[in-house]
Structure 1
Amino acid sequence: MQNKLKKTYKFAIKTSLYITIFLTLFMSVFLYLSNAVNWEYIIAFFIICYITCFLITQYRVERFIYKRVKKIYDDLTLLESTSLINKPITTDMATLTQEIDKFARDKKLEIETLKVREEYRKEFLGNVSHELKTPLFTVQGYILTLLDGAMKDKKIREKYLNRANKGVERLIYIVKDLDMITKLEVGDLSLKVEEFDIIELVKSVFDLLEMKAAKKKITLTFDMDYQNPINVMADKERIQQVLTNLVVNSIKYGREKGTTEVSIENLIKNKVIVRVTDNGEGIEKMHIPRLFERFYRVDKSGSRKEGGSGLGLAIVKHIIEAHEEKIYIESEPAVGSEFSFTLEKAK
């Protein structure tokens, strides 16, 4: 911390002026009563008195206040206040008060942010624990049942091993998704940017999820008949993953006999925006800011029945941001949701 003193003279100037005026008036009255008034002596006295009072007051103020103010700065330095560490010590109480108030506000905001993060951390650990322990206990249960004697029955053995295998596959699925998010966050996942037709990619995603949509009688469709291709520059495999996750979500939370609609529109000269819209159950506004968090669930009880790793939207967000693009969401309960993201148009 800098020990340089930034002097302030306001207090000494005012105090010296008050003392000098008082003493000069007192002396003038005394000389008047003594019939010895001499204005040259009075002016000289005023000047000498003022200079003397100023020097003494300034010296004593610095000696008296500086020690106490320096202790305040030293105490705050222990709390690592960078705004105070980088400034010279001032004996100006107003400046010091402002700095301390700013320091207190910054620390209060920091504490509130840490509390919010701590709540998110606890919730995240709880969600991770739930997502991992469910398939783990399932696998353990089937294996223990087989070890207890069910292994002798060939049909039961095959059935339970298949179910245990599904539990292991779910664990692998979660771990792979977590690994992908980690790589995306640290920038360790390279993107293979290429030119491709986004219309054809959407069609391939529709073909892939047609059976899943048919179970809920949901129609997968475009908003219009696209006659010409719309070429974009992006990682085709990752964008397919984004579209798959968004369409799967629209099916998962979509209305029976509902519709999932995809539209592609020109946004600006070199951008297009892809919209995935459904007429499902929609999302409350309170959930939207946290929707892209890992394992965050809107429906804490029922949504897990639908399967998935709980990482789909988090992966979507990171993939889009890795392309330096934006993702948006609009939703209204009982009306539906719309997820949209931008892509760079091919030249």
Structure 2
Amino acid sequence: MRLSVFITSNLDSILRDWVAFAGKQLPAARDMDHVALLDHGRTILEEIVVNMDRVEGEAERKIKSEGTSLEASTSANVPSRSHARQRESQGFEIGQMVAEYRALRATVLRLWQAAHPQLQDQDLEDMVRFNEAIDQALAESVDVFVEEVDRARDLFLGMMGHDLRGPLSTIASCAAIGLRQRPDDSRHALLTLRSVGQMKALLNDLMEFTARRLGKGIAIAPAPLQLDEFARHTLDEINAVYPERILALQNHGDMQGQWDRTRLHQALSNLVFNALKYGDAALPIDVVIDGSRQDEVQLTVHSVGKPIAPHLLPRLFDPLVRELRDGDSDSDASRLPLAGANLGLGLYVVREIALAHGGSVNVVSQGANTAFTLSLPRVPPTGGA
């Protein structure tokens, strides 16, 4: 009997073993009934049979073995994909779901061999086609399962970041009141405000990162903005928390354009915080705005300190890349004054804000000098307000 015919004729007995195995996947399966344990098992097997009976040439067989089958459906409703989403929502681990396919493969072949002890020439081809179909279904399930896990994690992180803003605002307000009431004893209030600022920066970056991963991207609302005045206000705000550091602003040319004030504040703050963290504390951070070009403005944040490791430069703006300067180690970085403000997302967010404006950001690090330059069209491609 051909293997595909055997599977169709023995679906119930095969699926009994599927349910029995799924019921052993604890703790997720502890309170699941027969229907929940069976899930998409029947439709997965039916899809496998269709896959096995489909006529395929040698070229299709080769790309199928490489996981790039032209015949594979991209629909989200393919049984293996639906099964993955269901198992993830039921609390299964990915290893438990993979084990289901391993057990399914073993069950089918064991039952088929018992009912069909004498192998024929066509049986080897049937086994190859069956294994290919199982592997395709497994690959589809794993891809979707991982996507669902990532999505759930990103949603959690986004909600957590949003909910933490309230308590932080309360802490900042209390510290600001203390600073006004006791200006001669401001050390603790400034320390609190500094820590709150770092935490807010981290949460903002985290929320931008999760929004991007959830497919929302970074939305901007451009409006007329005088860039030098905006930069001065941003630097004054940072200087209020870090009064011991020198933040110098230079500008020339036309400062007018249409940009998203909130997003640009986030980008400039991230670049300045990065410079404060890695630059020499005894030397100023220079912010230079070049408005000499007709269609574009360049904003550069320059610091003096240890250079960025050359191997890190090409991926410095990628998410979750933590910047180490030449000669530093992870333990050195943890002792830097602003070490707490580093999830490896700050520069990534700067890049995404630049791209949302139709611009770019780049870095040059030579010797003791490091400069990040944000290039922004005066009017983003999407238009202004």
TM-score, with length taken from structure 2: 0.44
